[in-house]
Amino acid sequence: MSTALHGTPSSPLRGPRVRTRCRFLFALLACLVAAPALAQETREYDLPNLEEQVKRERSLKELVKVRFKASNRFVGMADFGSYRANSYQPEGRLKITVPVARNAGIRLMGTGRVLHYDFDEGSADLGIGTRSDGPFDDLYRWTVRMQGAYFLDEEFTIFSPRERWSLIADSFVQSRWEDGADVSEGINGGGGLAVGYRLGKTFEMAGGVSVRSRLRGGVGIRPLVEFDWKINDRWKLSSQGIGLQLERRFSERFTVFTRARWENNFFRLDQRGGDIGRPSLRIRQLPVGLGGWWNIGRHLRLTALGGVMAMHELRVKDRDGSEIDTDTADPSPYFLIRFDFR
């Protein structure tokens, strides 16, 4: 590691050049988390710690961040009218953020998820018959994502001398399929371009456009807008995909938040008989809840969230995209627990 980044206090290189380089790297890492994750159903990235201070002793190696998340969400006794169902959703996520220059960096991320529905107290077939104890078996999803960010020179300003601008690129490939189906049938991908903006230590946003392929063919284009606003030392408001989260910080270790977020997930199902072929399943949900996170130690955070699944819809279409059946549940309770290893 160069002495310019990791020198001693007496080194002549411990001057403005070192501080400028560190600031660039920390600004870059903050910019990466505001990248265009809105192409996904939920926000994929942790928000930056806006109170973090630059440490002159930090080397480039110490700026590399590796994080792993393990979570599980339970939705209890969703009443669809003619039947009821519980659902369980364990998930694991690995993120690696690496600076590659004083004003550029990349982020790699891999996510794996299993969605299990336990149908009971009625007959559920969604017009496609039954498998095991319901109309579909376990659902799987994996995603591999790469992002890149380029931070513009700090002299480039438009509205305020405290602002910073960045250019962000995002690409991903994923597969969503039912147990027993061909994984390749559920593969799609896409990417996005966005402009990042940060004003001091209180406001960040990214805006742009994303393009993705669709499971039933064709291409979808959608706008990207994501923000993070630190209202004051205690309160923060941020976007969560198509939704919002309001946080109240009580200490460095404990924060309470409330969240509402629209979720829209598609899966390719296995071959069915007759003219159905390989149908697709869309699951639309609107969880509204109250939760909190607790920094147990330096490298571990525990998050718990509970509330009401205000919207829960299962919709099936055949291989040609024609709707077969749609079932909507009454509001039901849900609970999520997550461990973050940093």
Residue 156 DSSP SS3: coil
Judge contact between 139 and 177, C-beta under 8 A: yes
Q: What is the pLDDT of residue 102?
A: 76
CB burial of residue 8 (10 Å; 0-12, 13-18, 19+): exposed
- Judged against a pLDDT cut of 50, whether residue 22 lies above it is answered with no
Q: What is the pLDDT of residue 320?
A: 84
Task: Identify which of 11-15, 29-33, 100-104 has the greatest average pLDDT.
Answer: 100-104
- Of all residues in the chain, what percent carry a pLDDT higher than 70? 82
- Judged against a pLDDT cut of 70, whether residue 11 lies above it is answered with no
Report phi then psi at 296, rounded to 5: -70, -40
- Judged against a pLDDT cut of 80, whether residue 101 lies above it is answered with no
Q: What is the pLDDT of residue 189?
A: 93
Q: Average of pLDDT values for 88-100? A: 91
| Own/partner long-range contacts of 123-128 (Cβ < 8 Å, ≥24 apart) | 123/82, 123/83, 124/80, 124/82, 124/83, 124/85, 124/327, 126/281, 126/314, 126/316, 126/324, 126/325, 126/327, 127/316, 127/324, 127/325, 128/269, 128/272, 128/276, 128/279, 128/316, 128/324, 128/325
pLDDT interval class at 47 (50, 70, 90): very low
Estimate to the nearest angstrom the gap between the alpha carbon of 131 and the chain centroid: 31
Q: Rounded mean pLDDT of the chain?
A: 81
> Residue 215: CB partners within 8 Å, gap ≥ 6?
176, 186, 188, 266, 268, 280
CA–CA separation, 54 vs 52, rounded Å?
A: 7
- Judged against a pLDDT cut of 80, whether residue 123 lies above it is answered with no
Report pLDDT digits (tens) over 191-249: 999 998 989 889 999 899 999 988 777 888 988 888 999 999 999 999 988 899 999 99
Q: What is the pLDDT of residue 201?
A: 85
Report pLDDT digits (tens) over 253-311: 999 999 999 999 999 999 988 778 889 999 999 999 999 999 998 899 999 999 999 99
Judge contact between 180 and 8, C-beta under 8 A: no
pLDDT interval class at 74 (50, 70, 90): very high
Q: CA distances (Å), 250 to each of 132, 137, 201, 247, 257, in order?
A: 47, 43, 19, 10, 11
- Judged against a pLDDT cut of 70, whether residue 17 lies above it is answered with no
**Residue type, position 211, single letter:** V
- Of all residues in the chain, what percent carry a pLDDT higher than 90? 51
Check residues 68 and 20 and name the one with the higher pLDDT: 68
Query: What domains appear along the chain, each with residue ranges and CATH number?
Result: 16-341 (2.40.160)
CA–CA separation, 74 vs 9, rounded Å?
A: 52
Report pLDDT digits (tens) over 135-169: 999 999 999 999 888 888 878 888 888 888 989 99
**Residue type, position 143, single letter:** T
